[in-house]
A and B are shown apart, each in its own frame.
Chain A
């Protein structure tokens, strides 16, 4: 059926003319008419059926499966939460990261029984050298948390000294290292890139992965994996999907029903979407996923890859927007006459993790991340300076924060004001 149809790309140009009439009356009546033209370009794919929800079946059986991704997200979430419990040991944390089947690393027995692991899926789509460094980064933040922050849990944080610091007005208490960084935030937000974005954008949704072995021929012929209802290619696509939506309350309709279990990408898709400058992002990302999946079913590989590019664009944008947003929030916080340093540190710690995650984004026009690992590390050195006696967020300048946020915004095509 649809296999024989061609994929047609139609460029739909929608032009909206917004007319605003402003009347100012002083002595005479002056009428100023300001005409603003908005051009919206949208690509519409035609040629195969696209369901409304993420529901795909073969002979009545669902072909969608991403339980392994849900498991990893749950493991990562337990690990992040353990960083906020000062009785956790480094051995426990490293074991949660590097889980071995059957080991009692988690509170959830299903996770303990699982053969899945977070560490071996963290930052593993680049070079082996980078992967080792990325895992080392995450383990070093965990180690710093246990070695420096936990022992200072009841001490007041000071420049150069770890401890607690409370947000203004009797607000939340934050636990920061000697340089004002919340290690738990660094780990949490870095995993949005290193685990989620990397697996999706640089792993499962790439043509290289999707076309592995005889996948294209199998897809065209409808050859399923032995004992399963899905093909290899369908499953790969769904595994990518699962890293983003695996903890959604309703995985078939995560835009309407995201729930509140996720603490990684899905959570921040919602935050970006609720910013009027970026409203529609959640829908665009989900639509790209579902159209790409429908294209896989139809063995329309060009349409599939076009959809994957849109996934890359929107998912990368989420990381870019949040990175710039938190740096800007920190800058505005520092600008206050009486800065609320705990809030500033909290914003900047989230920002730190999102900036770190930029190295895992994918600009499908250049087929490279929006910021390379080297660029990311240089940027972190500016927003979290720890050389020449500088004490990270205690010493960062508003100018450096604004510059970094503007650099990020520009790369993604928005502005500092939008962030």
Chain B
């Protein structure tokens, strides 16, 4: 942790101006949920927003704070400054640590360094769960997710590439041979016993190839994630907040679609539905996230679930404060139309899923094999929120779903 902080500070100095900007805004926004609801109810002049055509209320969005009415711009500002950028900062800092510790391990492959590297990997993997949903801007442009966390790993293809010593990790063909799942395999899956895993890196003939590949994978993760963070800080934050209109290509519509797409495809289907066999008829237990280490699949899911709910509620990264969010937008709209307490329904359902985790093993692979019914029940609970958000919430917001399911052939 000390290590992480140190690196975060070093990194942050590179971006001092923008950091000051976001810090000063942080100071403006300590709104808790209750006072926010009051705000929303007390101000009913100005905006009678019929969201089907108007460009919403433009309050330029740069100073969301106490006394302010909900607006798209204010919500975008909260998302960018209090959630997205701090989450990416933490992720990049964890990846920076991962590279340092990775180099320690390849410099001296032993049990202590292997254990440290595994901890660092898990740390970064958990941080990833807080940024995975932000597939917008540079992340979308470079298809960050496709290089960071594709699973299941093509372990045969990866090994072939690794042993050839000649591979292009930027190639789309190699997307299922890198990222966290490749590291999961390289740190946990090469063999049953740790001593045998370490042997892969010390072995005379191929050890250097394993070392090189391990570092190449981490360096690529670092390169791409830094690129995304820098872009947010250099220019994308402004663009993101300025595009505060209500049309399909503006930030709110894009981000909400990205969020629900993530929730549906990666949290619901990827982490639970596919291993539980929802889409294949029979369970595919070996397709869980982080299958080689085994015991982290629930923890990773739990982190993703919390990140999703926190985003919904506008909770600041790593803090309990909240700002304008999908939740406060629903509450704002409840002044003028029936919302059936949709915000509460969604939050209740998030909580139900979280409680359900008590019934699941830490290792989803063994959970699927021993008691898949509990996995299917978990899926059904998540699915309820997919419907509440994708149908009810989007209807309330007058946002159209901008993605369709793939052809399937």
Contact = CB atoms under 8 A, between A and B. Distances in A.
Interface residues of B, number: 23
B226 interface: no
B47 to A, nearest CB: 7
Interface stretch (A3-11, A160-168, A281-289): A160-168
A169 B135 CA distance: 13
B172 A337 contact: no
B13 interface: no
Nearest to B170: A338
For A167, A169, A341, the residue with the greatest tally of chain B CB atoms inside 10 Å of its CB is A169
Interface in A151-186: 156, 164-170
For B47, B48, B49, B142, the residue with the greatest tally of chain A CB atoms inside 10 Å of its CB is B48
A177 B50 CA distance: 53
Interface string A325-353: 00000000000011011100000000000
Nearest to B142: A338
Nearest to B152: A170
Contacts of A25: 47-50
A23 interface: yes
Contacts of A17: none
Contacts of B49: 25
A166 B54 contact: no
A36 B145 CA distance: 43
A170 B142 contact: no
B376 interface: no
Interface string B145-167: 11000111010000000000000
Contacts of A169: 143, 145-146, 150, 175-176
A22 interface: yes
Contact of B143 (A23, A164, A338): A338
A338 B141 contact: yes
Contacts of B407: 271
Q: How large is the interface on A (under 10, 10 to 19, 20 to 34, 35 or more residues)?
A: 10 to 19
Contacts of B54: 24
A22 B52 contact: yes
Contact of B141 (A167, A170, A337, A341): A337
Contacts of A23: 48, 50
A168 B172 contact: yes
Overall SS of chain B's interface? loop
Contact of A170 (B47, B50, B140, B150): B150
Given A24-B54, A168-B143, A341 B172 contact: yes
B370 interface: no
B53 interface: yes
A24 B53 contact: yes
A311 to B, nearest CB: 25
A341 B171 CA distance: 10
Nearest to B157: A166
B267 to A, nearest CB: 15
A165 B50 CA distance: 47
Contacts of A342: 172
Contact of A22 (B50, B143, B176): B50
Contacts of A24: 50, 53-54
A22 B150 CA distance: 45
Contacts of A22: 50, 52-53
B173 interface: yes
Interface in A22-64: 22-25
B172 A166 contact: yes
A168 B50 contact: no
Contacts of B176: 166, 169-170
A153 B168 CA distance: 19
B281 to A, nearest CB: 13
B231 to A, nearest CB: 12
A166 B50 contact: no
Contacts of A338: 141-143, 172
Contacts of A166: 172-173, 175-176
B286 to A, nearest CB: 14
A342 B175 CA distance: 13
A24 B146 CA distance: 42
Interface string B117-157: 00000000000000000000000111101100011101000
A170 B141 CA distance: 17
Contacts of B154: 170
A164 B52 CA distance: 46
A184 to B, nearest CB: 11
A167 B53 CA distance: 38
Contacts of B173: 156, 164-166
B401 to A, nearest CB: 12
Contacts of B141: 337-338
B52 A168 contact: no
A156 B157 CA distance: 12
B353 to A, nearest CB: 25
A23 B52 CA distance: 9
Contacts of B143: 168-169, 338, 340
For B140, B141, B175, the residue with the greatest tally of chain A CB atoms inside 10 Å of its CB is B175
B111 to A, nearest CB: 32
Interface in A207-227: none
A323 to B, nearest CB: 15
A340 B140 CA distance: 12
Nearest to B154: A170
Nearest to A164: B173
Interface in A348-405: none
Interface in B381-406: none
A23 B141 CA distance: 37
A378 B47 CA distance: 56
A164 B146 CA distance: 18
29 contacts: A22-B50, A22-B53, A23-B48, A23-B50, A24-B50, A24-B54, A25-B49, A156-B171, A156-B173, A164-B173, A165-B172, A166-B172, A166-B173, A167-B172, A168-B143, A168-B175, A169-B145, A169-B146, A169-B150, A169-B175, A169-B176, A170-B146, A170-B150, A170-B151, A170-B154, A170-B175, A338-B141, A338-B172, A340-B172
Given A169-B145, A169-B146, A170-B150, 15 more contacts: A22-B50, A22-B53, A24-B53, A25-B47, A25-B50, A156-B171, A167-B172, A168-B172, A169-B150, A170-B146, A170-B175, A338-B141, A340-B143, A340-B172, A341-B172
- 10 A-B pairs with least C-beta separation: A170-B176, A337-B141, A25-B48, A170-B150, A169-B146, A166-B173, A338-B143, A22-B53, A168-B146, A24-B54
